[in-house]
Amino acid sequence: MDQGQLFETNFEPVQPGKDVIAQSPSQDVELARVRSKLAEPILAFCSGRTEFFMTELYRYVSSQVECAPGSVDRILRALRKSGQIDYEVISRRKSHYRITG
């Protein structure tokens, strides 16, 4: 049995200029579902603040909707990527953030 038979994949070759890590359609659907629940409380929490710790954000959001801790981080990054919020990491070790826009 050759290696191709052992490790069957359905991946397409990476094209220049394309992201190396692509999400599957089911990941996109899941992200949209989670984002629809969490975006509003995250934006509300960040409104009027200059700095925060991720534990504070998670506590606030989880008091509004049921969610996993990693989901809050993920949606915060998605909001940043879409331009709805901007922040910088003050301390990665302490999960300390500063709102910049």
Q: 46-84 burial by CB neighbour count: b if 16+ within 10 A, else e?
A: beeeeebebeebbebbbeeeebeeebbebbbebbeeeee
**How many structural domains does the chain have?**
1
Q: Does residue 2 form part of some domain?
A: no
Contact status, residue 77 vs residue 86, Cβ threshold 8 Å: no
d(CA 33, CA 74): 12
Q: Which domain holds residue 78?
A: 49-101
In a domain, 72, yes or no: yes
pLDDT in tens, 30-49: 767 777 889 999 999 999 89
Average pLDDT over the chain reads: 81
Per-residue pLDDT tens over the stretch 66-93: 988 889 998 999 999 999 999 999 999 9
CATH number at residue 89: 1.10.10
1 falls within a domain: no
Residue range 15-36: average pLDDT? 65
